[in-house]
Amino acid sequence: MDKIYVNQMEFWGYHGLFPEENKLGQRFYVDAELELDLKPAAETDDMTKSVDYGAIYETCKKVVEGEAHKLVETVAEKLSAELFNQFSPVQGCRLKVYKPDPPIPGHYQSVAIEIYRSRTE
């Protein structure tokens, strides 16, 4: 299956278990890998047979910067559902959601979760 990647999209969201996270918000990064057949678009040079990268970004932004959730896992699940809803050619998606500044002690670059979903699930 062919793939479209849109990586390191940066958003401001209010997701987290602690009231401070829900009030102050924080950065989130999203990597999206979408599986679809790109051959028809390539053969015809027709954008309508692919998925617009800007539209992928806007869809992710709407979810991450929208309704607050306690878990990053929930954010990822909502992202996959919305991407399938918005883009019918997409057959599968792998999403990685990074939370670079969670309120936990220690030295690390970020915490992240990754999910894979397909239309056949």
Q: Is 96 designated active site?
A: no
> 3 near 41, Cβ under 8 Å?
no
Neighbours of 102 (CB within 10 A): 17
- Whether the CB-CB separation of 21 and 75 falls below 8 Å is answered with no
Cα angle for residues 49, 40, 95 (degrees, 5° grid): 60
Enumerate long-range contacts of 38-41, CB under 8 Å, 24 or more apart.
38/2, 38/4, 39/2
Catalytic residue positions? 99
